[in-house]
Structure 1
Amino acid sequence: MRSRRRLDDCILMDLFCGEDSGVFSGESTVDFSSSEFVDSWTDNESIACFIEDERHFVPGHDYLSRFLSRSLDASAREDSVAWILKVQAYYKFQPLTAYLAVNYMDRFLYARRLPETSGWPMQLLAVACLSLAAKMEEILVPSLFDFQVAGVKYLFEAKTIKRMELLVLSVLDWRLRSVTPFDFLSFFAYKIDPLGTFLGFFISHATEIILSNIKEASFLEYWPSSIAAAAILCVANELPSLSSVVNPHKSPETWCDGLSKEKIVRCYRLMKAMAIENNRLNTPKVIAKLRVSVRASSTLTRPSTDESSFSSSSSSSPCKRRKLSGYSWVH
C-alpha cells in the first residue's frame, strides 16, 4: 500500500513538474530516415499488440449515437477540438499532443456527464485534457495560465485546472498512454512502400488528414488502426506511382491480423468525402459587383442619427473574459 502511494506521488510530481517552466518554444522534429525509427516499425507483433489494446483507449461503442441523438452536444465538442488545435499550433506542440487531448476529452465525456450550464465546464475540461497531454508528450510545457489562449471565454485559476486534471485522471483510471493512429502510420506505409521511398511524405500527409478530421464526430465510429490505414490509403492515392496499385477494397486487411476491411473502407470513403467537402468550402467564390446608384451611395455614406447611441451602447458592454474558480463538482 505504501509503495502504491509512493508511485502515485511520483506520477503526480511528474505531471505537475511543468507548471513553472514558462511558455513553450521550439519545434519537435522526427528523422524519418533514421534506421532506429525504421526498425522500430517492422515488428508485426508490436502492431498486433496495439490492435489488441486499442479497444481500451477509445470511448464506448454508443458514444457516437449520443451525439446523433443530441444527448451530447456535437457543436460544443467541435468548438473544444478547434480550440485544442489552435493552441497546438500556437505552441507548436506535436500532433500527438493534440490527438491525445481530444482522446482524453472523449473518454471523459463518455464516462461522466458535465454539468449543463453556460459552457465553462467544457472549456475547463479541454484545458485540463490538453495540459495532461502536453505533460505526457512535450519537453517544455506552458504554465496552466498560459494554456488559456486562442480566444478562451473564461479564465481559470491554476488550482481549479489541477483539480480538473485529477478528476480526468480518476475517470480515465490513469491510463494516459493511449494507442493512437500515429502508432500505425509507419508500419502501414511500409506495406505500400516497402523501400520507404516516400515514408516522410506518407507520415506528414497522413498526420494532416487525421488532424483535419478530428473535429468531425463521425470518425468516432472508427478505432485508431482503421483511421491510420484509411489515412495511408488516402495519401497513396496522391502519389501517381502508387495510386494505380493500391486498392482499398483488397489490400488493407492483409497488412496485419485484426484489421477490419469493412471499417477501413468506410473510414477511407468518409475521409475522401470530407476532403471533397472541405475543398468545396475553401474554394474562393466570385462575388458579382453590385451597381450602386449615386442616390444609394449618398444614403450609405450619410451619418446615421443613431450612430452615437450605438457607439455608447456597444462601448458600455465590452467583451470580457470571466475569471472562474472553485467548483463543487470538480473534486
Structure 2
Amino acid sequence: MDIYAGILVLSALEWRMRLITPFSFLHFFIFSTELKDPSLKYVLKEQATKIIFNAHNDIKLLEYKPSTIAASALISASCELCLKQYTMRRASIAACKYLDEDLLTKCIDLMQEMVMLTEANESTIDTSFLSIEPPVSMLERSIKRQRISYASAADTCSRFLKL
C-alpha cells in the first residue's frame, strides 16, 4: 500500500523531486546583494558555506526553511567579513518576498551564537600535537644514556687502573 501512496505523491509532483538544502539558495542570495567584486562573492559564499556546515548539527535549525538558513548564513558571513556593508547586505537579502523577517532575525541570532561558540572552541583546541619537530624516541634516549654511562665507566676504570 505504501508504494501506491508514493506513486500518487510523485505523480502529483509530476515526478519533480530534488534535494532542497540551504546550499541551493546561496547563489540566489549572493546575486541579490549586487556585489561587483567576484572575489568578494567567492569569499562570502565560502564563509557562508562554512557557517552552514558548522551549524548543521544544531537541532534548532530544523525550525527554519533552507532559504532562511542560507540567508542567515550569508548575513552572518557578511557581518564577519565587512561590517561596513552589513546593514546594506542585510536589507537587500531581507527584502526578498519569500523570507519572513521575524524568522530571519531569529535564525541570524542563532547563527551568530553558533559562530561565536565555534570560534571559542577553535581557540581552545590544543595544537601542541601539531609540532614540526619529531619527539625524541625512547630508543634514542636509552642510547644516549648508555653512551654517557659507558664513557663515565671507562673514565672510572682508567682512573682505577692508574692507581
2:69 pairs, out of 227, 239, 243, with 227
Cα displacement (A) at 1:279: 2.1
Matched, 1:202 2:37: no
Alignment partner, residue 121 of structure 2: 281
Counterpart residue type for residue 71 of structure 2: A
Alignment partner, residue 158 of structure 2: none
Cα displacement (A) at 1:176: 4.6
TM-score, normalised by the number of residues in structure 1:
0.31
Once the two structures are superposed, residues 30-54 of structure 1 have per-residue CA deviations (whole angstroms, 9 ceiling, x without a partner) of xxxxxxxxxxxxxxxxxxxxxxxxx
Counterpart residue type for residue 217 of structure 1: I
Deviates more, 1:209-218 or 1:179-188: 179-188
Matched, 1:253 2:81: no
Q: Is the partner of 1:244 in helix, strand or coil?
A: helix
Matched, 1:265 2:105: yes
- In structure 2, distance between residues paired with 1:285 and 1:194: 35
- In structure 2, distance between residues paired with 1:257 and 1:231: 18
- In structure 2, distance between residues paired with 1:249 and 1:206: 14
Cα displacement (A) at 1:278: 2.0
Q: Is the partner of 1:246 in helix, strand or coil?
A: helix
Cα 1:222–1:280 shift into 2, 3 Å: same
Aligned ranges 1:142-153 → 2 under 5 Å: none
- In structure 1, distance between residues paired with 2:125 and 2:21: 37
Alignment partner, residue 58 of structure 2: 216
Bigger-Rg structure (1/2): 2
Alignment partner, residue 78 of structure 2: 236
Cα displacement (A) at 1:257: 1.8
Identify, as 1 or 2, the structure richer in helix: 2
Q: Is the partner of 2:80 in helix, strand or coil?
A: coil
5+ residue gaps in structure 2?
Answer: 11-15, 127-163
- In structure 2, distance between residues paired with 1:206 and 1:186: 11
Cα 1:271–1:178 shift into 2, 3 Å: same
Cα 1:195–1:285 shift into 2, 3 Å: closer
Once the two structures are superposed, residues 110-145 of structure 1 have per-residue CA deviations (whole angstroms, 9 ceiling, x without a partner) of xxxxxxxxxxxxxxxxxxxxxxxxxxxxxxxxxxxx
- In structure 1, distance between residues paired with 2:26 and 2:33: 11
Once the two structures are superposed, residues 295-325 of structure 1 have per-residue CA deviations (whole angstroms, 9 ceiling, x without a partner) of xxxxxxxxxxxxxxxxxxxxxxxxxxxxxxx
Cα 1:277–1:188 shift into 2, 3 Å: same
**Kept after mapping to 1: 8 A contact 2:44/2:81:** no
- In structure 1, distance between residues paired with 2:35 and 2:122: 35
Alignment partner, residue 190 of structure 1: 31
TM-score, normalised by the number of residues in structure 2:
0.59
**Kept after mapping to 1: 8 A contact 2:75/2:108:** yes
Count of matched residue pairs:
115
**Kept after mapping to 2: 8 A contact 1:227/1:267:** yes
Root-mean-square deviation (Å): 2.8
- In structure 1, distance between residues paired with 2:25 and 2:125: 38
Percent identity, aligned pairs only, is: 27
**Kept after mapping to 1: 8 A contact 2:32/2:92:** no
Matched, 1:181 2:51: no
Q: Is the partner of 2:19 in helix, strand or coil?
A: coil
Cα 1:284–1:180 shift into 2, 3 Å: closer
- In structure 1, distance between residues paired with 2:42 and 2:116: 24
- In structure 1, distance between residues paired with 2:85 and 2:65: 25
